[in-house]
Amino acid sequence: MTSEVGSPAGGRLVGRPLPRREDARVLGGHSEFLDDLHPAGLAHLAFVRSPYAHARVLSVTPPRGAPGLLAVLTARELEGRTRPLPIQSPEGSEVADEPHPLLAAGEVRYVGQPVAAVVAESRALAEDAAELVGVEYEELDPVADPHASDLELLRWRRTAGDVEGAFRSAARVAGGRYAMPRLVAAPMEARGALAYHDPAADLLTVWCSAQDTHRPLRHLGHVLGRPAEQLRVVVPDVGGAFGSKGSLAPEAAVAAIAAIDVGRPVKWAEDRAENFVAAYQGRGMEAEVELALAADGRMLAVRARILADLGAYLLPATAMPPHTAAMLMAGCYTIPAADVRVSGVRTNKVPTGPYRGAGRPEAAYFLERAVDDAARALALDPVELRRRNLIREFPHRSPLGWTYDSGDYRRCLDLALDLAGPRRAHSDEGLVGRGVAMYVERAGGSFEAARATLEPDGRVIVRSSTSPHGQGHDMTFAQIAAERLHVDPGDVVLEFGDSALVPGGTGTFASRSVAMGGSAVARAVDELGKQCVQTAARLLDAPEDEITWGEEGLAAGDGRTLALPDVAAAGPLEATARFESDLVFGSGAYAAEVEIERATGRLTVRRLTAVDDAGTIVNPLLAEGQVLGGAVQGLGECLAEEATYDDQAQPTSASFADYSLLTAAEIPPIAAEFVESPSPLNPLGAKGIGEAGAIGTPAAVANAVSDALGGRHVDPPFTEEKLWRAIGE
């Protein structure tokens, strides 16, 4: 970690495993989530949703005389007043103009799409009135299979090096076709929004369960055509997101319009049934991957064709995960040539978007499965093939265009193997397999901001543009600030989640909070520290370069001291910092041991080993928690989770009766360790850890399953039926 003038360093707090201080409030039932908000005059919003995967909307008839009914909104009422949500277009891509409408106009394209909105005096009355809305549909043929789709929503390709020459001269070409299922994010708290319009100030305030404040603010401004000064977004406590609350929900924008129309606060709180069919899903990609290899195992080129089932429309970030997966298809390896294509197609399913990892787990799974298949083709140990090709010098320019800032891939791999211990042999009852997987992930990028204020009582108030939803920002950022100002973490107060109070930023996603948000905090408190030194030097009549920090505050060279309240009393001290950076790249190595019961195909993960390099670790306890949480989600993807649809694109896993989440009983022992190769791109040396477990786990478990089956490939989830059939075949 670097330190600027007036800010101490040395690891007094950074690097210590301090428990989350927000836990007492959260676990004690003192949190305030969206549905805990009940302002005076509150009205409630419910949606009429399509029962069809594809149909024309011929007419919408509002109910008459429904009790408590205040308003009914359809696409007609929104016409000329709104625009669709904006669409992000990844670099070098062709993206179709197919934004998600707020309410269906003329056509519905997936089961659960909002067709009309009903505002009533209570939630129950709103839901009752929604059932009375008459919608006439003309059913159309849906597309459920992405291979049958004739409409590309996203197209991207990048080539580098002599790919054709590498494949012509290769001693061996190996690879295969690999697929990852669609997944439901399933946060504990579903989506929701509460909106209120103050006509006197013409200020629209929206409280929403979201991952940050300023992305919803930007999206809402775009949709409504309102300037930022007429909008305020407040994010209360959030019960999980995992990427699914990164974009403004179309329903939240409708709630805002409804609040303007009825002149009262309006709340939409999504229930679990809605969340299953209408909240965007993750993954849903497959790839054909080929590796060109020399006789000694050197990787000469990679060729990949990624097919992404994007669903019915493009939401703001729908195009980003496939692009990220494509950009990471060289992984941790020195591969001089690459040719990677992405085709994102439309199906009649709910759209996809970022889900924990957002393209990184897909890239690791596609490439690491291909590496294991290549090792078998060359009759090489899979670990040895990886060792021969690992990147050793940094910075490293990937053939696909990203520059990896730092890493120690060999050390990660060696440590993962040491922690994994000796492998077990097959038994009469079960087939045992060992799998290893490497990964590299992008994090950070763009900018974040922070403001630090010294209060008269000596407390430091830090306002951050990033926003927590379970990661532990409060403790982590307090450690960063307290370390640099030489105060107790208890004297640092963090404030998040109100666009009227916190500086603007990019948002909380993509493992970027510490690297970007933490670095902005570091810069802000460094500047505040400089101001403290300048003020102390003036008050003590001493040169600035003689002022030092100590337990009692700031001291002159002759021993005279000033406590921080004395410094604050001399005048208001406040500093704002904006931190910008290129992408940083974390990495890791995972090892899994599995056993498949011969008689039934039942899979048991016996042990999982996770070694991650996230640069400087500010709080090892919280970082380990992030790894374990991500690993459990990765295991869920392997063992149970899949969002399924029938051939008419009707969802067949639309409740927890059909979509299984793991319980503690299914979680194996997980050994987690860290390698720290600090990034040179930020003052903390941080690279991001929030998605690591979800990235490394699926590929490691899949390789272990394939190893147990003697090289046979099966895609997740690894159900008993799939594995039993694979054993029989």
DSSP annotation string for 293-329 = E-TT--EEEEEEEEEEEEESSB-TTTTHHHHHHHHTT
Written as six digits, the tokens of 11 are: 């690891």
Q: d(Cα 191, Cα 620) in Å, to the nearest integer?
A: 30
| Segment 153-172 mean pLDDT | 98
pLDDT at 5: 29
Assess whether pLDDT exceeds 50 at residue 377: yes
| Segment 616-636 mean pLDDT | 96
pLDDT at 65: 86
Written as six digits, the tokens of 511 are: 């493992």
Helix (H) or strand (E) holding 548: strand 548-550
Q: d(Cα 704, Cα 423) in Å, to the nearest integer?
A: 11
Question: ∠ CA 92-93-94 to the nearest 5 degrees?
Answer: 135
Helix, strand, coil abundance in the chain, percent, nearest 5:
30, 30, 40
Q: What percent of the chain has pLDDT over 90?
A: 93
| Segment 622-637 mean pLDDT | 96
pLDDT grade for 10, boundaries at 50, 70 and 90: very low
Continuous H helices in 607-651: 620-639
Query: Please, which residues have CB within 8 angstroms of residue 427's CB and are 6 or more apart in sequence?
Result: none
Sheet strands side by side (includes 670-675): 492-495, 460-464, 430-454, 573-597, 603-613, 670-675
pLDDT at 231: 97
Q: d(Cα 667, Cα 670) in Å, to the nearest integer?
A: 8
Which residues share a beta bridge with 36? Answer: none
Assess whether pLDDT exceeds 60 at residue 650: yes
Assess whether pLDDT exceeds 80 at residue 7: no
704 phi, psi to nearest 5 deg: -70, -40
Q: Is the dihedral of CA 361, 364, 367, 372 positive or negative?
A: negative
Written as six digits, the tokens of 438 are: 């490497």
Assess whether pLDDT exceeds 60 at residue 374: yes
Q: What is the CA radius of gyration of the chain?
A: 27
First to last CA, the chain: 55
Task: Give 65-102 pLDDT, tens digit per residue.
Answer: 899 999 999 999 999 999 999 999 999 999 999 999 99
pLDDT grade for 508, boundaries at 50, 70 and 90: confident
Assess whether pLDDT exceeds 50 at residue 324: yes
Contact indicator for 538, 562 with CB cutoff of 8 Å: no
Assess whether pLDDT exceeds 60 at residue 2: no
Q: d(Cα 46, Cα 220) in Å, to the nearest integer?
A: 20
Decide: helix, strand or coil at residue 7.
Answer: coil
| Segment 220-239 mean pLDDT | 96
**How far is residue 138 from each of residues 56, 77, 103, 134, 361, measured CA to CA in Å?**
5, 22, 17, 13, 39
pLDDT at 3: 31
pTM of the complete model: 0.95
Residue type, 289: V
Among 174, 4, 2, CA closest to 525 = 4
Decide: helix, strand or coil at residue 713.
Answer: coil
Contact indicator for 161, 337 with CB cutoff of 8 Å: yes
Helix (H) or strand (E) holding 282: strand 282-293
Query: Please, which residues have CB within 8 angstroms of residue 562's CB and are 6 or more apart in sequence?
Result: 536, 539, 540, 553, 554, 555
| Segment 464-488 mean pLDDT | 92
Contact indicator for 52, 137 with CB cutoff of 8 Å: yes
Q: What DSSP string runs through 140-173?
A: ------GGG---EEEEEEEEES-HHHHHHH-SEE
536 phi, psi to nearest 5 deg: -65, -40
Q: d(Cα 123, Cα 384) in Å, to the nearest integer?
A: 60
Contact indicator for 678, 515 with CB cutoff of 8 Å: no
pLDDT at 12: 85
**How far is residue 456 from each of residues 81, 371, 392, 522, 716, measured CA to CA in Å?**
47, 60, 51, 21, 57
Q: Which residue has the higher pLDDT, 642 or 469?
A: 642
Please, how many CA atoms are within 13 Å of residue 174, restricted to the half-sphere of its CB?
Answer: 24
Evaluate the omega torsion of the peptide bond into residue 717 and state whether it is cis, within 30 degrees of 0. Answer: yes
pLDDT at 4: 33
Contact indicator for 142, 649 with CB cutoff of 8 Å: yes
519 phi, psi to nearest 5 deg: -70, -35
160 phi, psi to nearest 5 deg: -155, 140
**How far is residue 313 from each of residues 298, 319, 347, 594, measured CA to CA in Å?**
41, 10, 9, 39
Burial class (CB in 10 A: 0-12, 13-18, 19+), 543: exposed
pLDDT at 11: 67
CA 708 to chain centre: 32
Q: d(Cα 45, Cα 64) in Å, to the nearest integer?
A: 17
Q: What percent of the chain has pLDDT over 70?
A: 98
Mean pLDDT over the full length of the chain: 95
